[in-house]
Amino acid sequence: MDPTLRRCWRLGALLATLGTTPAPAVDERPISGPRLPRLTCYAGYLKLEAPHGLEGVRAAIRQAIARDDQGALLFLEQRLAEVIGKDPQAALQVAGWADTTPEPEMSLYLRAVRETEAVRSPPVVDRLATLAESHPDPGHQASALIALETQHRFEPAMLERLTTLARKDTLPTGVTLLTVRTLGRVMDNDFQRTGRFDPYMSRLLEVALDSTEPGVRGLAIEMGTYPDARIDGPLLQQLVKLQREDPDPDVREMAALAMSSGRDPRAVLEAFRQSFPQEKNECVRWAIVRYAVRAAGAGALPLLKDFARQDARFRQDHADFKALYDAGQVDFNRVFSSKAHHHRCEG
């Protein structure tokens, strides 16, 4: 497997600075039953909360926090999600508690909301987005964004709101990255259900073209590589612009990866043909070489021969790829994993 495809969300350290625990990968199984194994009922807690609904769960959570009882807190987080269930008013009440409480109570409330069906109710979506937009504490903003990640789709108005948030100059970098990730994860959710991709990717590329932060630009492009979508038209041209003009080599490499999923391999190869001479960084040139092969397979070999003519450092790469394709290999991941590496670059 191409090592550059071992992508990650890149947010652990930033989330730690915000005092927020990273969310797990999005679990889109139906919520007909509990997603996690049922935990042993902790003595006293269920008795405390059972007669009093949400308020009883809250009292039990505060008691468990005071005792630093982590096992009970995990149980009660699941219990809170169960009590909220499909009820938007209950979800709004818990989101209101989160708005006015510090950690660790705050993020527990929003993690519980995240795991309910009610989280997809329009009033709850709006409440979480407002929390992300306007709360003065970055930790609250981050937890609200994480709670939005299980949405099946974003309507155009919500896409606009989150894009505006991601482009806000005064937003802490960690919150901006989480906004980008939320857009990308919901894009992936929507794509898996409906094939809808372009509206999200268009917004992500707006952020990439506008941001002054290389990490934000790179993540905005990276999110587009997770759905198995074929990119073309204006989206491909925006990626071409980033691949040629971005000042950060890591961002240019990520743009080359995203371009390799282009619907028209000939258009991708032509873009790479024009980019290669002006690119001076060896590692970005190497990215162009391998992603040309990813885009077009053996059809990229004539272009690789031209690259090798322009830069002798890539002669052996052309020879390696040609030998593998001549031997009958067709799958890029298998071809790449069989190939020797000649450059001191990641991937």
Predicted confidence (pLDDT) per residue in 130-163, tens digit: 999 999 999 999 999 999 999 999 999 999 999 9
pLDDT above 70 for 41: no
pLDDT above 50 for 223: yes
Tokens for 270? 């032509």
pLDDT above 80 for 36: no
pLDDT above 50 for 37: no
pLDDT above 90 for 53: no
Band of residue 11 on the pLDDT scale cut at 50, 70, 90:
low
Band of residue 110 on the pLDDT scale cut at 50, 70, 90:
very high
Report phi then psi at 262, rounded to 5: -60, 145
- Tokens 């040139």 belong to 285
At residue 281, the pLDDT reads: 97
* Distance separating alpha carbons of residues 333 and 338, to the nearest angstrom: 9
At residue 12, the pLDDT reads: 53
Amino acid letter for position 237: Q
Nearest to 191 by CA among 181, 201, 203, 179: 201
Average pLDDT score over residue span 188-193:
96
Band of residue 52 on the pLDDT scale cut at 50, 70, 90:
low
Give Cβ neighbours of residue 282 (< 8 Å, ≥ 6 apart): 313, 343, 345
pLDDT above 50 for 78: yes
* Distance separating alpha carbons of residues 334 and 311, to the nearest angstrom: 25
pLDDT above 70 for 39: no
Average pLDDT score over residue span 36-56:
58
* Distance separating alpha carbons of residues 86 and 121, to the nearest angstrom: 9
pLDDT above 90 for 293: yes
At residue 49, the pLDDT reads: 54
Nearest to 98 by CA among 64, 45, 145: 145
pLDDT above 70 for 304: yes
- Report the mean per-residue pLDDT for the chain: 89
Average pLDDT score over residue span 248-266:
97
Please tell me the pTM assigned to this model. 0.86
Percentage of the chain beyond pLDDT 70 is: 85
pLDDT above 90 for 176: yes
At residue 23, the pLDDT reads: 46
- 71-90 burial code (b ≥16 CB/10 A, e <16): ebbebbbbbbbebbeebbeb
* Distance separating alpha carbons of residues 210 and 201, to the nearest angstrom: 14
Tokens for 239? 């990626």
* Distance separating alpha carbons of residues 297 and 303, to the nearest angstrom: 11
Angle between helices 122-134 and 88-99 (to 10 degrees): 10
At residue 330, the pLDDT reads: 87
